Amino acid sequence: MKIERKLILSNIINGAFIILIGFFAFQNLNLVLTKLRFVEIADDLNASFLEMRLSEKNYFLYKDKQALVQIQSNIEKTLETIAGVRDDITRAIGETDLKELVAHLYAYAAVVEEARTTGSPADAQLETRLRAEGKGLKEFSDSITHLERKRVNDIILSSKWILIFSFWVILVSALFIGHFISQKILRSLREIVKLTKSISEGNFNRIEGFQSNDELGSVITAINSMSEELGHREEELIQSKKLASLGILTAGVAHELTNPLNNISMIAQTYAEVYDNLSEKDRIEFMQKVEGETERIRQIVKNLLDFSKPKDASPVEADINAVIQKTLTLVQNMIDVSNIETTVHLGDGLPHVFIDEHQMQQVLVNFVTNAVQATAAGGRIVISSRPGKNNGSVEISVADTGKGIPPEYLPHIFDPFFSTKGEGGTGLGLSVSYGIIKSHHGEIRVESKVGVGTTFTIELPQYSAQSQRQDNLTTEDKEVLELRQK
């Protein structure tokens, strides 16, 4: 369900709850009002009953039948009052209690009537009956009044508890729903932050395990497909950068081809010149020389073709020095043409690394090309390899005595499309190199001083059986592995 719908639903539920509580509170208040109205009436009646009892006492005290008439008039008034507010009373105390009250009144009236017409104040039996009826009426009336007061208290008390209870229910449910939804949003946001961070480091992963159909689900699906798309773009970028550096390389390699071609030309001309003086063995030697030179050409062309071929990254165990040597055959001529001195220091007995040779060549070609472009004729480029600072790692560096990179540019040199070469640069070389080294779990560093030179250093982890296994694993397997390590 969408988060928006969840929020609406939870609001509806809380709203309904509030309405329900309001309804109950309203009902209770109405009831309380009814009861209070009755208590008010009952107070009036009680006053009236009290008056009757007073007249009753006067009758026995002063033997005056006028007191009985007073009682009768009071009874009549009371019955009239009851008839006037009959509905209110029925609602408050019910039909039965009302009938009983009226019955008590009639019984009392009957005794009063009897006393007025036939009785005498000296009749002890009549006196007892009259007093008993009067007392009964007053007591009944008092008891219902008392009961109703108690009910009013009960209703108010229960309303209070319902209100307190529902306050907590609403508070807890609002907090719970709020917490649940915000937790879910935060969790996805954390995943998204993690993924974008890994994308910025060149790992185009996916967020797995989020199968919700809500807005977050759509955001995560969008981010996943973006990551995938970026991965494709990166591959395209690597290939296009490779083709760009191929252009530079081709110029250098073309020069390199001139040497064997010149040699073949020299051999052919000399062959024709000195043909008559050659023995058969000499002639065969001449042809072998031609063969040797064509083999040289073939190697140069093969190197170039190998470099240009688009290939999926296929890391293998490799000797980094061999890769450096192979790269040098591609760039040596470019360096020579620029009249720059090259020094190569390759460390002995370096641990093997787990790399894609072509991608690594691409990085090295990029470094050397940058170095050549930054260095004036007569400058120096030092290419070296040595054991790295981390356990078993290998460091490769390309240092030049070129113009250096201004400190304000340093933080940006690995950003895509950042270039200081004007129209000549695409601004992609170093960012592609960065991506390649990151995907090899390596580090890339740069030190530069304006006017002194620049050193690019790569640090690659040592080859191990585990690194090979890990690279062959599926994403799912990797997650399991990560969980286990945690």
Partner 1 sequence: MATSRIMVIDDEKIVGDMAKLSLEQDGYSVETFLNAEPALKRLQEEQFDVVVTDYKMKGIDGMEVLKTVKEHYPKTQVIMITAFANLDAAIEALRRDVHDFFPKPVKIKELKLSIKRALEKQA
Residues that bind partner 1 (CB under 8 A): 255, 258-259, 261-263, 265-267, 269-270, 273-274, 277, 289, 293, 336-337
Closest distance between partner 1 and the C-beta of residue 486, in Å?
A: 57
CA gap 138, 483 in Å, rounded = 83
Token duo for residue 357: 């040779």
Closest distance between partner 1 and the C-beta of residue 195, in Å?
A: 52
Q: Which is nearer to partner 1, 87 or 276 (CB)?
A: 276
431 contacts 441 by C-beta, under 8 angstroms: no
438 contacts 200 by C-beta, under 8 angstroms: no
Q: Which is nearer to partner 1, 73 or 288 (CB)?
A: 288
CA gap 168, 161 in Å, rounded = 11
Q: Which is nearer to partner 1, 273 or 476 (CB)?
A: 273
Name which of 138, 116, 114 is nearest 59 in CA terms.
116
> What residue has token string 């370096």?
350
Please report the beta strands in 29-186, taking only residues with DSSP state E, as ranges in sequence order.
none
Closest distance between partner 1 and the C-beta of residue 253, in Å?
A: 13
Closest distance between partner 1 and the C-beta of residue 292, in Å?
A: 9
> What residue has token string 């919700």?
212
Q: Which is nearer to partner 1, 277 or 466 (CB)?
A: 277
Closest distance between partner 1 and the C-beta of residue 336, in Å?
A: 7
Closest distance between partner 1 and the C-beta of residue 330, in Å?
A: 18
Residues 6 or more apart whose Cβ sits within 8 Å of residue 124:
none
Q: Which is nearer to partner 1, 113 or 336 (CB)?
A: 336
Q: Which is nearer to partner 1, 341 or 477 (CB)?
A: 341
Residue 381, CA distances (Å) to 86, 332, 338, 481 in order: 115, 11, 11, 43
Closest distance between partner 1 and the C-beta of residue 427, in Å?
A: 30
Q: Which is nearer to partner 1, 158 or 262 (CB)?
A: 262
Closest distance between partner 1 and the C-beta of residue 383, in Å?
A: 16
Q: Which is nearer to partner 1, 224 or 338 (CB)?
A: 338
49 contacts 140 by C-beta, under 8 angstroms: no
Q: In what order do the strands lie in the sheet with 453-460?
A: 341-346, 380-387, 394-400, 453-460, 443-449
Closest distance between partner 1 and the C-beta of residue 303, in Å?
A: 19
Sort residue 79 into left (φ over 0), alpha (ψ -120 to 50) or beta: alpha
Q: Which is nearer to partner 1, 270 or 325 (CB)?
A: 270
Q: How far apart are the two ends of the chain, measured CA to CA in Å? A: 32
Name the strand (E) or helix (H) holding 262: helix 215-274
Diameter over CA atoms, the chain: 185
CA gap 151, 437 in Å, rounded = 83
CB-CB neighbours of 263 under 10 Å: 17
